[in-house]
Structure 1
């Protein structure tokens, strides 16, 4: 059985980590990653010895790539196509009538938020994407909330499988990273936020809430890991709030697993999420979290034993609560979080569930509904 995973290739956040983690756990002789443009995902897949093909789409609306993808599927005897992301989903929907193989789709984000801030054009693309989603033979939702989202889009319940995200808990952080290397003092309170600098992540809430905490506690620091279109806007906001020297923009990093253990807590202020991989990474680092109540967060952080699930208007108060908690209590929360997540959300478990879907789809797409 050969499965082609198709993605735009411009992912750098949780979506990329999910895809690469899954492919790395699957049989490398059976999976191929197809990307539409050269980028970090293509390079990192190669480093993991994952077979990878770049279809070289000239620009996001270049439909000539359809012919190249179709030819590749036929020449390589691909048995299943598994798409990730709006561009790949829409292209596969166009190809589907000319192919006779099953199409599996993973929904990584809310289609209404994918084109946030793009006005009428964004609404049109979101509608086009939703139409494509409805045509897939199987939709994988990586949280219960996304299962309901798929149902609301109009996907038949028999075509949906809920398969939670996962990370490799056997990955150990690099012990050579210390606070001093970044200029932090031993008693500094570090808040880490790993998120693309895009509107859906709502960094303004993080910065505004942190400003309130920092006014009363000068040993606090907000560490932002990720890049994106809002970088200059957010840096200006920090200057306006007089937070220079206390908010640190580290940009995109490939050593997130080594940076997170340096933090006292991690923060996520997203408007929308599926099953936030960064929270699993925080659990692996044994660091408690502060997060908005979005997507699969209730499954990841089911009680305050592991962290704080809060509303947008209560982030400031929650930051104060985390700061005031004894360091040993925070450590205990982090250990609980690690043990809870490790037993439920490993990348190995994710791969086993996805493989089951492939096996059933390969035998007969009609059998999936009665087995999953």
Structure 2
């Protein structure tokens, strides 16, 4: 099978990791997978660095519909069996040419399609409708949680027979490959996420204030439209040296920062199956999350991590307090236990095998 994955190309978070990890595993297994990005950007750069066969369509901006003819020709001339899109813009472009291509079309839903453009006013509503239209018209829709499967069937009215739930995975490292932790004075918490409202960092700042523990330090690693507002909120809450805004960080920078951390926290209102928590677990950090996506599949019981109620500051405070007050040896044992569990269940190899099984059914 010849497979083409398509993305707009401007992703910097979990979407980028998902695509590059999956295609890296496909390359290792000598599968015929290629990547096309609509624009030059972080995704193409990361894919090239991983020696993935990468093409750039050269769209001149987000709404360059003149590139649709080139996209159609690229797919048909390449004789691809499957075209697999990631992200709303790639979905839109494929929906506009779907009747002109010979390949079977698949989509991966990485996030709640009703929240992707929630803060963009009228245009956001238009993009949401177009993306939902694309989901209904694709031949196959991969979703990364059972909650998203129910959402796109019940609310977006996507044919349930098209839906396939396949959890995200990452490349896990042997514990001997993980650098030892640096000694540090404070209890350090890291939040790795885009600084957008859906990621709930404002909740986390309020929780840190309410926790009222000067021994705790929070590092927010991410950039986005809410960064300046979050910095202002931190000042307003008089959190001072307790909070550090690190901005966007590369994987290498994060790995180094993880060596000083005691807990990884995600307080989002909505998520799929968050890779950042798998990555933190790989680095032997215990994890705390709000009850988003299928997080209870990742954290099956309190022996493996902490789960707070979504959108509930008091619940977040309670889980933070339990983590902060837990004996360090118990916290370390929890991190080790969680890593073994997720490494057994959520590897990229398993993810690719599940996706390929669907591809083969579609191309029979």
TM-score, normalised to structure 1's length? Answer: 0.91
Match of 1:298 among 296, 299, 308: 296
Match of residue 3 from structure 2: 3
Q: What SS class does the counterpart of residue 113 from structure 1 fall into? A: coil
Contact 1:79 1:102 in 2 (8 A): yes
In structure 1, distance between residues paired with 2:281 and 2:44: 27
Match of residue 353 from structure 1: 354
Match of 2:172 among 144, 169, 172: 169
Answer yes or no: is 1:24 the counterpart of 2:20: no
Match of residue 338 from structure 2: 337
Match of residue 102 from structure 2: 100
Match of 2:241 among 229, 245, 248: 245
Which stretch shows the higher mean deviation, 330-339 or 29-38? 29-38
Report how far residue 277 of structure 1 moved.
Answer: 0.8
In structure 2, distance between residues paired with 1:21 and 1:200: 24
Pair 1:276–1:62, CA change in 2 (3 A): same
In structure 2, distance between residues paired with 1:169 and 1:135: 35
Pair 1:282–1:173, CA change in 2 (3 A): farther
Match of 2:231 among 229, 235, 238: 235
Contact 1:225 1:249 in 2 (8 A): yes
Cα deviation, 1:10-69, whole Å, max 9, x if unaligned, reads: 111111111111010013551111111221111110011101111121121110111111
Report how far residue 261 of structure 1 moved.
Answer: 4.3
Contact 2:219 2:243 in 1 (8 A): yes
In structure 2, distance between residues paired with 1:177 and 1:94: 51
Contact 1:5 1:31 in 2 (8 A): yes
Match of residue 369 from structure 1: none
Q: What SS class does the counterpart of residue 265 from structure 2 fall into? A: strand
Pair 1:29–1:356, CA change in 2 (3 A): closer
Report how far residue 257 of structure 1 moved.
Answer: 3.6
Q: Which ranges of structure 1 fall in alignment gaps of 5 or more residues? A: 180-184, 364-372
Q: What SS class does the counterpart of residue 32 from structure 1 fall into? A: strand
Contact 1:268 1:291 in 2 (8 A): yes
Counterparts in 2 of 1:116-265, with a 5 A limit? 116-152=118-154, 153-170=156-173, 179=182, 186-213=184-211, 215=212, 217-254=213-250, 255=252, 256-265=254-263
Match of residue 368 from structure 1: none
Contact 2:180 2:259 in 1 (8 A): no
Pair 1:279–1:208, CA change in 2 (3 A): same
In structure 2, distance between residues paired with 1:197 and 1:355: 34
Report how far residue 259 of structure 1 moved.
Answer: 2.9
In structure 2, distance between residues paired with 1:173 and 1:51: 32
In structure 2, distance between residues paired with 1:332 and 1:40: 36
Match of residue 268 from structure 2: 270
In structure 2, distance between residues paired with 1:339 and 1:321: 22
Match of residue 49 from structure 1: 51
Match of residue 326 from structure 2: 325
In structure 2, distance between residues paired with 1:341 and 1:197: 26
Report how far residue 125 of structure 1 moved.
Answer: 1.4
Q: Which ranges of structure 2 fall in alignment gaps of 5 or more residues? A: none
Q: What SS class does the counterpart of residue 116 from structure 1 fall into? A: coil
Q: What SS class does the counterpart of residue 240 from structure 2 fall into? A: coil
TM-score, normalised to structure 2's length? Answer: 0.93
Match of residue 285 from structure 1: 283
In structure 2, distance between residues paired with 1:204 and 1:72: 44
Answer yes or no: is 1:76 the counterpart of 2:39: no
Match of 1:64 among 58, 63, 66: 66
Task: Count how many residue pairs are aligned between Structure 1 and Structure 2.
Answer: 356
Return structure 1 stretches of 4+ with deviation > 3 angstroms: 171-179
Pair 1:122–1:25, CA change in 2 (3 A): same
In structure 2, distance between residues paired with 1:353 and 1:175: 28
Q: What SS class does the counterpart of residue 80 from structure 2 fall into? A: coil
